[in-house]
A and B are shown apart, each in its own frame.
Chain A
Amino acid sequence: MQAAQHYYIPSPSHWPIVGSVALLFMGFGAALWINHIEAGPWVLVTGLVILAWMMFGWFGTVSRESETGTYNTQVDISFRWSMSWFIFSEVMFFAAFFGALFYMRELAVPGLGSGPTGEYLWPMFKSGWPVSGPGIEQTFTPMGAWGIPAINTLILLTSGATVTWAHWGLKKNNRGQLNFGLFLTIVLGISFLCLQVYEYVHAIHEYNLTLQMGAYGASFFMLTGFHGFHVTMGTLMLIVILFRCLAGHFKPEHHFAFEAVSWYWHFVDVVWLLLFILVYWL
């Protein structure tokens, strides 16, 4: 069936080495910065700039190759496998933090408030949830589920629908629907982020809820923070895709870059649902 097929191999490329120089700078820069050495931020920013340059160059090359029809079906299937496994790795990254939340909430905190540990070491500590921890004197107000978080849930769910609607447009070769659907998705993504920033400001200034606020503060900000970072990346990816659509890229039967980004977007969506239930609600 695939008898006369040749394999596709890209020609040598300098982007990988550019990327690894970027990460070298970023690693050193971040380490210097957090240890309060003046050069740190500059080294880090240099790394980030090089990384951005690499991303532009590399993804640019890939999209040119794709548009000139260099990729055959086999390459397309490779892309599908790789994106699925990449998303799986992201799932496991979040799993580590959800695991930490579970452990602190169900095991560490109750352990500090009961038995000999509670009796002799922390007699004043009443365990429960949400809680900061026995050694933290300041108090905070936890984040309720039914204000901004509920609105954000609606926003993300809607954006999942709009991106699918855009995909339908692409498959029917209805470019108007495609572009409009993508545009809506991006607007929803940005609104989500704005609301989250608002929520953070509110939490820090009004609720005294910060990263330093023990078990609840750490798990709240790390989980929602990493999720917000993923929404940011997803939105950027959607913007790139929108520009490519406007430039006439993608065909009804050949548009994996679009699908990859929409898979990613749905993944971010599902993580949010878990966050909503496990961090905000329960």
Chain B
Amino acid sequence: MEAVHGHDHAHDHGHDHPTGLMRWLTTTNHKDIGTMYLWFSFLMLLTGGTLAMGIRAELFEPGMQFWRPEFFNQLTTMHGLIMVFGAIMPAFVGFANWQIPMMIGASDMAFARMNNFSFWLLPPAAILLVTSFFVPGGATGAGWTLYAPLSVQQGMGMDLAIFAVHIMGASSIMGSINIITTILNMRAPGMTLMKMPMFVWTWLITAYLLIAVMPVLAGAVTMLLTDRHFGTHFFNAAGGGDPVLYQHVFWFFGHPEVYIMILPAFGIVSQIIPTFARKPLFGYTSMVYATASIAILSFIVWAHHMFVVGMPAAGQLFFMYATMLIAVPTGVKVFNWVATMWKGSMTFETPMLFSVGFLFVFTMGGFTGLVCAITPIDIQIQDTYYVVAHFHYVLVAGSLFALFAGVYFWLPKWTGHMYDEKLGKLHFWLSIIFFNLTFFVMHFLGLAGMPRRIPDYAPQFADFNMIASLGAFGFGLTQLLFLYVVVKCIRGGEKAPAKPWDGAEGLEWTLPSPAPYHSFETPPIVK
């Protein structure tokens, strides 16, 4: 082996590290970058949340209250785009940054400078998205899926959204290349693939999915751009194209995308449940294989979003069965989490509460997904509030709750302080109650035929909508409590030991709390 040239950390600790704003602008440290990702995504959560409040205010009662219909469409569209690309995805990347190097025994990510670039691409994208509200014609109102032909006809806001998607895609691809390389090449000696923590596994597979599908989304919006401005006819029948083509390309990205948003959540929950059940994860190997099969299957189910576009029956049957097949590995996971808790000596600190909450409510979302997957049923409920209920069960109670669980779980490691357990529990109970208040009733609305993405509705839907709006306002306010708990924990609190949870396992707990600036300067040996 050729001589290895180490970077002697003892030398560069004292000098060479800018402070103040420059520290954050130029940092190459995975913890700094992880922190920025997490704060950015929280800011986006509040932004997207504000838009959601605007939606629910309008829907509080029938009739037009606050907004013009066009602006209402902009609210739903931008709410979706900001939540998916600004809040949920960056939050998971923030977790990856903080945790993966610590969990695999590395000192940092493989490409520390590119890591900073991936993060700093997000603010420009967010600026493009948010300013699009203020250009002539306003933001795009085509829905977060940006379906043609509507998206071909919109104003300049649409172009800003397209470029924002390009930039966020570049950010995701760089971030994923970094994560994959870190996992494949920076593991401590002895940390074989099948010894990696589940969170690391799920991110390895998520990063693969991201690299595979973000370029396809870039292709889809590029075709939109040329159809809008350069006279191509990809999505226009007059030129031999087809608006349905857009849906195919978009959902080829879109369905793997929903797994991109849930697999790391599975990973977080798989770290937390064993900790508080004080038992190793049941069926680790099957968890790994289940994750991998979900990822592979996610490429062949996309047209379950398109059951009403006029597909041949053979296509509908294929996509229906393929979709149902995904329920098998998903079921394996749910089974394993439950089996992990079986006969465990469980305690219910906030991370565990959020994880168990996740388990209940995410599973409900999985079931409604199965209902949507049944073609004859989906033909009735497509584009109704039933679908809105489904994906908020998996995205809010799935991804977002797992994120909350993870924050509470690792906050002691990140800040060196314990969070306020009482307030954390309050945050959980308020969240789960308001969440169900908001979204459970949407199932009924959808089954009764209320379409999604409309600013006004028939009077018979009034009661349920009022409940949903009240729940939504409560849910929104509750997240300010979360902000308070986190800030309080950063600023002080009971000192956290290296391993604040007695059932916790993994390399990150061998480091002191708060974790040192460079996680492992020399690789630890994993037996």
Contacts and interface: CB of A to CB of B under 8 A. Distances in A.
Given A34-B159, A108-B242, A70 B18 contact: no
Contacts, number: 267
A77 B246 CA distance: 38
Contacts of B523: 2, 5, 7
Given A85-B181, A104-B241, A211-B226, A99 B6 contact: no
Contacts of B128: 24, 27-28, 31
A17 B242 contact: no
B5 A8 contact: yes
A221 B489 CA distance: 56
Contacts of B445: none
A11 B245 contact: no
Nearest to A54: B117
A184 B102 CA distance: 47
Given A74-B186, A96-B215, A13 B26 contact: yes
Nearest to A25: B124
Interface string A4-47: 11111111111111011101101110110011000000000000
A134 B238 contact: yes
Nearest to A8: B7
B482 interface: no
B216 A96 contact: yes
B113 interface: yes
Interface stretch (B229-237, B361-369, B384-392, B454-462): B229-237
B143 to A, nearest CB: 20
B116 interface: yes
A71 B186 CA distance: 14
Contacts of A134: 237-238, 240
Nearest to A130: B240
Interface in A70-112: 70-74, 77-78, 81-82, 85-86, 88-90, 92-93, 95-97, 99-100, 103-104, 107-109, 111-112
A89 B248 contact: no
Nearest to B122: A20
A13 B116 contact: yes
Contacts of A99: 248-249, 252
Interface residue tally on A, bucketed by range: 35 or more
Given A7-B6, A74-B186, A27 B124 contact: yes
Interface string B220-263: 10010110111111101111111011001100100000000000
A217 interface: yes
Contacts of A15: 113, 117
Given A92-B213, A136-B239, A214-B240, A97 B219 contact: yes
A77 B173 CA distance: 19
B502 interface: no
B211 A24 contact: no
A132 interface: yes
B181 A78 contact: yes
A261 interface: no
A220 B125 CA distance: 30
B42 to A, nearest CB: 20
A12 B240 contact: no
Nearest to B12: A11
Given A12-B27, A16-B117, A72-B6, A95 B216 contact: yes
Interface in A189-210: 210
Prevailing SS type, chain B contact patch: helix
Interface string A203-230: 0000000111111111001100000000
A109 B23 CA distance: 56
Interface in B89-120: 106-108, 110-114, 116-117, 119-120
B28 interface: yes
B164 interface: yes
Contacts of A4: 522
A6 B240 contact: no
Nearest to A27: B163
Contacts of B518: 9
B480 to A, nearest CB: 29
B107 A82 contact: no
A77 B445 CA distance: 54
A2 B523 CA distance: 9
Nearest to B248: A103
A222 B230 CA distance: 11
B26 A14 contact: yes
Contact of A69 (B5, B9, B160, B249): B5
B167 interface: yes
Contact of B25 (A14, A26, A71): A14
A135 interface: yes
B200 interface: no
A268 interface: no
A88 B185 contact: no
B6 A8 contact: yes
A217 B163 CA distance: 24
Given A27-B128, A100-B249, A89 B185 contact: no
Nearest to B180: A85
B212 interface: yes
A96 B173 CA distance: 16
A275 interface: no
A131 interface: yes
Contacts of B219: 93, 95-97, 100
Interface in A125-167: 131-136
A11 B112 CA distance: 9
Contacts of B216: 92-93, 95-96
16 contacts: A2-B1, A5-B523, A6-B4, A7-B522, A12-B23, A17-B25, A19-B121, A23-B121, A58-B113, A108-B240, A109-B240, A134-B240, A136-B238, A215-B239, A218-B233, A222-B232
- Rank and list the top 10 A-B pairs by shortest CB-CB distance, nearest first: A135-B238, A96-B219, A6-B6, A215-B240, A133-B240, A214-B239, A133-B239, A16-B117, A24-B124, A93-B215
Given A89-B173, A135-B238, A211-B232, 11 more contacts: A31-B128, A34-B228, A72-B6, A96-B215, A100-B245, A108-B237, A109-B240, A136-B238, A214-B241, A218-B239, A254-B2
Interface of B: 1-9, 12, 16-18, 22-23, 25-28, 106-108, 110-114, 116-117, 119-121, 123-125, 127-128, 155-156, 159-160, 163-164, 166-167, 170, 173, 176-178, 180-181, 184-186, 189, 211-216, 218-220, 223, 225-226, 228-234, 236-242, 244-245, 248-249, 252, 518, 520-523
